[in-house]
Structure 1
Amino acid sequence: MLFDDVPILLPDAELRLIPDWCPPTCARQWFEQLLAETPWEQPSVRLHGREYPVPRLLAWYGDPEAAYTYSGLTHQPLPWTPLLAEIRSRVSASVGQALNGVLLNYYRDGQDSMGWHSDDESELGRNPLVASLSLGGARRFDLRRKGRNAIEHSIDLPPGSLLVMSGATQHHWQHQVAKTRRPVAPRLNLTFRLVRALS
């Protein structure tokens, strides 16, 4: 591994952070290009009989077979752009695994967020690897044990950092990007994963 690799030691989890995975100049260039060329959407989810817009913008890219369903929404993949194909290749080489889809989340300000969840959908397999690349502004990433309310660990994800979650992490832990009143710069988050065909 050519990068500084920082393990995050939590029980029943495999987490590591590569803070400087992408150099600052590269991270800024990718942020600006992805922001400009992505056809952002803001779908709604149904909770308790009411429709609520997702509190961020998103887009799903992937191989043709990599349809992905979460929160009751099924995303058909957009075809890889040259830039996203290049980033996927680099991330895949870093984590040592093939990856066939990426979810782009655009957090426009501190009121855009991601609620508590685990990436444990059946099409991701038993012990999924999720590689999360942060670009733009830094945001706090919280973790808690499933079945508990208290935040047990938080880390700031700086631009250019790659957070890798693997092993049994999604079985035992949930994560979120909470709303904040602090002034924060816009952030892009690219979460790469391997979507498997369900038999």
Structure 2
Amino acid sequence: MTAAFQASLLDPDEESRLGPLGGTVRRTHLGRGAWIDLRPGWLTGADILFERLAETVPWRAERRRMYDRVVDVPRLLKFYDEGETLPDPVLDDARRALDTHYGQELGEPFRTAGLCFYRDGRDSVAWHGDTIGRGSAEDTMVAIISVGSPRPLLLRPRGGGPSIRRDLGHGDLIVMGGSCQRTWEHAVPKTTRPSGPRISIQFRPRGVR
């Protein structure tokens, strides 16, 4: 199940650089006021950034109560709150670019960054929406950059229904907007197939978790 990280042959850059947004972003309307934007390969040199983050971020293994027992969270985590220094200058550049592109539509800047390290196919995140705080009642946005090996992100309507799948890695950007956090759910499922490591970087506005 565990596989070593394999760099993409399509991303040989030795420096991490952001491409344009603008007309390169593809929006899909999901219904019920929800939408997703996808910009494949927004970050070139993403494999270099993956290696830097994997080595330098102070990753934490957490445990959480589930029903009547405490279990390991199946991924490593690090959260950067407002005012905290991000672990790489490229992430500052990414947040500024997202603010420029989405600022008018969102009506506020992205403030925080949450990082998740999926070490192999055993690491995952269950179905959920980012509804701790304002996301439970207000339209908002969550922007995710994926670096490392691709993993599927699944989305489905809250309450049940067919799911859609987007395979994200090697610098891809996905933005979940509108009512997506409260009317849809998303997950990164476990897999028994060989799967290399992946890091996701999630930018959120104030009060959204």
Query: TM-score range with shorter-chain normalisation?
Result: 0.7 to 0.9
Question: Which residue of structure 2 lines up, in the alignment, with residue 19 of structure 1?
Answer: 40
Equivalents in 2 of 1:144, 1:100: separation in Å?
26
Residue by residue, what CA displacement relative to the aligned partner does 1:107-131 show, whole Å, maximum 9, x if unpaired?
A: 0000000100001222446112100
Task: State the partner residue of 1:141.
Answer: 153
What SS class does the counterpart of residue 176 from structure 2 fall into? strand
Cα drift, residue 43 of structure 1: 0.9
Unaligned runs of 5+ in 1: 65-77
* Matched length: 181
1:107 to 118, 121, 126: 118
Alpha-carbon separation, structure 1, partners of 2:29 and 2:206: 27
Q: Kindly indicate whether residue 56 of structure 2 is the aligned counterpart of residue 30 of structure 1.
A: no
Tell me which of 64, 71, 75 is aligned to 1:45.
64
Q: Which amino acid aligns with 2:142?
A: V
**1:74 corresponds to:** none
Q: Could you say which residue in structure 2 is the equivalent of 1:63?
A: 82
Q: Are residues 1:10 and 2:21 paired?
A: no
Do the aligned partners of residues 168 and 192 (structure 1) sit closer, same or farther apart at CA in structure 2, a change above 3 Å counting?
Answer: same
User: Structure 2 counterpart of 1:142, which letter?
Assistant: L
1:154 equivalent to 2:161? Answer no
Task: Flag the 1:156–1:126 CA change in 2: closer, same or farther, 3 A.
Answer: same
- The aligned runs of 1:167-186 (5 Å cut-off) are 167-186=178-197
- Contact 1:120-1:128 at 8 Å conserved across structures: no
Aligned residues of 2:57 and 2:87 also touching (Cα < 8 A): no
Tell me which moved more, 187-196 or 118-127. Answer: 118-127
Counting aligned pairs with the same residue, the percent is: 33
Of 173, 185, 193, which residue of structure 1 is paired with 2:204?
Answer: 193
**Residue of structure 2 equivalent to 1:81:** 87
Please list the CA deviations of residues 163-183 of structure 1 after superposition, one character each: whole Å capped at 9, or x if unmatched: 011111112100000001111
Cα distance per residue 1:144-175 (max 9 Å; x no partner): 11111x54211111321110111111121000
| Other structure's SS at 1:43 match | strand
The offset of 1:3, in angstroms, is: 5.3
Question: Residue 151 and residue 110 in structure 1: after superposition, are their counterparts in 2 closer, same or farther (change >3 A)?
Answer: farther
Q: Amino acid of the residue matched to residue 111 of structure 2?
A: N
Secondary structure of 1:159's match? coil
| TM-score when normalising by structure 2 | 0.79
Q: Mark the runs of 5 or more structure 2 residues left unpaired by the alignment.
A: 1-20
Q: Give the alignment's Cα RMSD to 1 decimal.
A: 1.9
Normalised to the residue count of structure 1, the TM-score between the two structures is: 0.83
Residues 56 and 87, structure 2, Cα contact 8 Å, conserved in 1: no
Preserved CA contact (<8 Å) 1:3 1:18: no
